[in-house]
């Protein structure tokens, strides 16, 4: 049996006729950038996230940059970020000239540890970016409490947790302004690059819309130095369709996670995902940990099972961040996760037999 790490086959087959008709309509529409499909998606995604405003942009990195710019975060400011995240979170902070200040994750949930945030706040700190990593919503109540006490803005990085909640409230609805990605492999994925910001503030929404479109609300009148980061009509059309299925697809991911949990619990040397009280995961990734990670990955590959590592090198040890002079040992929890984590296949369409095959082989390895 072969089990790829990720397959779009089942999702795409399910909606293939509708995808074709969206494409057909798109070709003949004569309108390709910032039109009715984008407006419709912004309305649908804001209602899914339970916020009044959503602004579609070109990708998740731009969404973070636009969120930071909307808040006027700039050169010399400090922004608190998780030490354990995809590098995009840090790169966005650097792109506006600010300094990423890493905070270690909770070793059980892999999300930023709210208890450790306070000691990293300085007079230059302007914002906190919690990342809902692997699909699990961060402990937002605790994070918001710290942010309010210190008058800091909060920008959720919700690239990996479309549909997750904390105490019943959706990821992407907590922060002042929040960023997400619809990169194809995400729970809600486009057929190319796409992203969005969500917010409860009309002022931040209007600023984000101007920033994504050359700093202009009225064509050829430029109020600020903006970017070209617009969501395509075609991607918006596809996303509108896929959004209708997202709850069902997330449900499938969750039941796969339950199956792994049942099949793999009790295996010594293996750490399974844990969910913080009040939080919920939509299992963008199902990440296990073991000291014998590399050996296990090879063993599974030899049996036709695809796995990936999210992420092998934490941002503070990447060449791109040599300027910050961090070294190994500075963020030991992030480093331990990077050295031991392994993501198993989890996607709509993965069958119970395949989950069993993966689990049996993991047990056979140990």
Ligand X SMILES: Cc1ncc(COP(=O)(O)O)c(C=O)c1O
Residues that bind ligand X (CB under 6 A): 59-61, 85-86, 88-89, 131, 157, 159-160, 181, 183, 193, 195
Shortest distance, CB of residue 159 to ligand X, whole angstroms?
Answer: 3
Q: How far apart (Å, rounded) are the C-alpha atoms in residues 65 and 181?
A: 12
Q: Cα–Cα distances in Å, from 279 out to 149, 157, 184, 221, 248?
A: 22, 16, 25, 44, 19
Q: How far apart (Å, rounded) are the C-alpha atoms in residues 62 and 193?
A: 11
Q: Where would I find the H helices in 150-270? A: 202-212, 233-264
Shortest distance, CB of residue 154 to ligand X, whole angstroms?
Answer: 15
Q: How far apart (Å, rounded) are the C-alpha atoms in residues 216 and 207?
A: 10
Shortest distance, CB of residue 86 to ligand X, whole angstroms?
Answer: 4
Decide: 152 and 37 in contact? Cβ < 8 Å.
Answer: no
- Judged by beta carbon, residue 62 or residue 354, the one nearer ligand X is 62
Shortest distance, CB of residue 37 to ligand X, whole angstroms?
Answer: 19
- Judged by beta carbon, residue 176 or residue 193, the one nearer ligand X is 193
- Judged by beta carbon, residue 101 or residue 131, the one nearer ligand X is 131
Please give the structure tokens belonging to residue 171: 């990821």
Shortest distance, CB of residue 175 to ligand X, whole angstroms?
Answer: 14
Decide: 181 and 63 in contact? Cβ < 8 Å.
Answer: yes
Shortest distance, CB of residue 135 to ligand X, whole angstroms?
Answer: 11
- Judged by beta carbon, residue 63 or residue 305, the one nearer ligand X is 63
Q: Cα–Cα distances in Å, from 6 out to 19, 253, 347?
A: 20, 12, 7
Decide: 39 and 258 in contact? Cβ < 8 Å.
Answer: no
Shortest distance, CB of residue 111 to ligand X, whole angstroms?
Answer: 11
- Judged by beta carbon, residue 235 or residue 361, the one nearer ligand X is 235
- Judged by beta carbon, residue 58 or residue 256, the one nearer ligand X is 58
Shortest distance, CB of residue 88 to ligand X, whole angstroms?
Answer: 3
- Judged by beta carbon, residue 77 or residue 157, the one nearer ligand X is 157
Please give the structure tokens belonging to residue 15: 């909606």
User: Within a 13 Å sphere around the CA of 242, how many CA atoms are in the beta-carbon half?
Assistant: 28
- Judged by beta carbon, residue 321 or residue 365, the one nearer ligand X is 321
- Judged by beta carbon, residue 183 or residue 357, the one nearer ligand X is 183
Shortest distance, CB of residue 166 to ligand X, whole angstroms?
Answer: 16
E strand map for the chain: 53-57, 78-82, 99-103, 125-128, 153-154, 165-166, 169-170, 177-181, 195-199, 216-218, 221-222, 286-289, 341-344
Q: How far apart (Å, rounded) are the C-alpha atoms in residues 115 and 127?
A: 16
Residues 6+ apart with CB under 8 A from 109: 136, 139, 274, 275, 276, 279
State the Rg of the chain over Cα. 20
**By beta-carbon distance, which residue lies closest to ligand X?**
60
């Amino acid at each position: 049996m072969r089990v790829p790490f990720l397959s779009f086959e089942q999702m795409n087959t399910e909606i293939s006729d509708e995808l074709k008709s969206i494409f057909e309509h798109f070709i003949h529409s004569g309108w390709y950038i910032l039109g009715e499909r984008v407006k419709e998606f912004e309305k649908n995604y804001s209602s899914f996230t339970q916020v009044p405003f959503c602004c579609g942009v070109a990708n998740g990195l731009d969404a973070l940059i636009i969120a930071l710019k909307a808040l006027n975060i700039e050169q010399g400011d400090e922004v608190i970020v998780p030490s354990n995240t995809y590098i995009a979170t840090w790169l966005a902070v650097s792109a506006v000239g600010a300094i990423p200040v890493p905070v270690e994750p909770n070793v059980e949930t892999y999300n930023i540890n709210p208890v450790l945030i306070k000691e990293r706040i300085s007079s230059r700190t302007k914002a906190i970016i919690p990342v809902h990593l692997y699909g699990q919503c961060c402990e937002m109540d605790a994070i918001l409490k710290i942010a309010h006490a210190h008058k800091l803005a909060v920008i959720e990085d919700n690239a990996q947790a479309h549909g997750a909640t904390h105490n019943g409230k959706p990821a992407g609805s907590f922060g002042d302004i929040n960023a997400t990605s619809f990169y194809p492999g995400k729970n809600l994925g486009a057929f190319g690059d796409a992203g969005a910001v969500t917010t409860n503030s009309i002022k931040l929404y209007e600023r984000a819309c101007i920033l994504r479109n050359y700093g202009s609300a009225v064509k050829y009148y430029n109020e600020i130095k903006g970017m070209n980061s617009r969501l395509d009509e075609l991607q918006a059309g596809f996303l509108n369709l896929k959004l209708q299925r997202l709850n069902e697809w997330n449900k499938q991911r969750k039941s796969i996670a339950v199956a792994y949990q049942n099949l793999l619990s009790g295996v010594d040397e293996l750490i399974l995902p844990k969910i913080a009280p009040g939080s919920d995961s939509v299992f963008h990734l199902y990440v296990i940990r073991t000291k014998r990670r590399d050996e296990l990955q090879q063993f599974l590959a030899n049996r036709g099972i695809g796995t990936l590592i999210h992420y092998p090198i934490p941002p503070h040890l990447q060449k791109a961040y040599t300027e910050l002079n961090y070294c190994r040992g500075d963020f030991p929890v992030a480093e331990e996760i990077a050295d031991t984590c392994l993501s198993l296949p989890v996607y709509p369409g993965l069958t119970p037999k395949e989950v069993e095959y993966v689990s049996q082989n993991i047990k056979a390895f140990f």
